[in-house]
Amino acid sequence: MRTRYGIIQAMKNNCIFCAIAEGEIPSFKIYEDDLVLAYLDINPFSEGHTLVIPKVHSEGLLDTSDEMLAAVVARVKKVAAHIKATLPCDGFNILQNNGEAAGQTVRHVHFHIIPRRNGDALAFENRKGDMDALKALSDRLRM
């Protein structure tokens, strides 16, 4: 697979998120521990749009163990609080899609933290990310 950075990699589990978690594909990490990785979405809905993933592969919410979900959601809360305090923003959406019909495009369970500001329009539309701005923002948000 060719990434945005021109790197050709064989992906673990044929899953781009597993490859990101393994460090095979670069990401703009803002949090990482033994179980979970949080990094900036490269096609964000808003500034600070972050993905939180378990490092162990499972396709969706229903395939993920209760213990892993508890761990991931605890990190979603921690990272969301950090983003809200650091940007700052007025609030945030937590989005988690399951299945193609629900808009899941990567078959690896993940949560979106989408920072919101008063008066912004509620629209979930990706826009092309600026890699330099994403790098600077990941440095600013890194925990």
- Where is 137: in which H helix or E strand? helix 131-141
Are 45 and 114 in contact, with CB atoms under 8 Å apart? yes
**pLDDT score at 125:** 74
Residue 112, SS3 per DSSP: strand
Catalytic residue flag (residue 110): yes
Structural domains for the chain: 28-141 (3.30.428.10)
Helix-helix angle 131-141:66-86, to 10 degrees: 100
Catalytic residue among 49, 57, 108, 110: 110
Structure tokens at 10: 């064989």
How big is the chain by its Cα radius of gyration, in Å? 15
Please report, in tens digits, the pLDDT of each residue of the chain (143 residues total).
Answer: 444 444 334 466 799 999 999 999 999 999 999 999 999 999 999 999 999 999 999 999 999 999 999 999 999 999 999 999 999 899 999 999 999 999 999 999 999 999 999 998 867 677 788 999 999 999 999 89
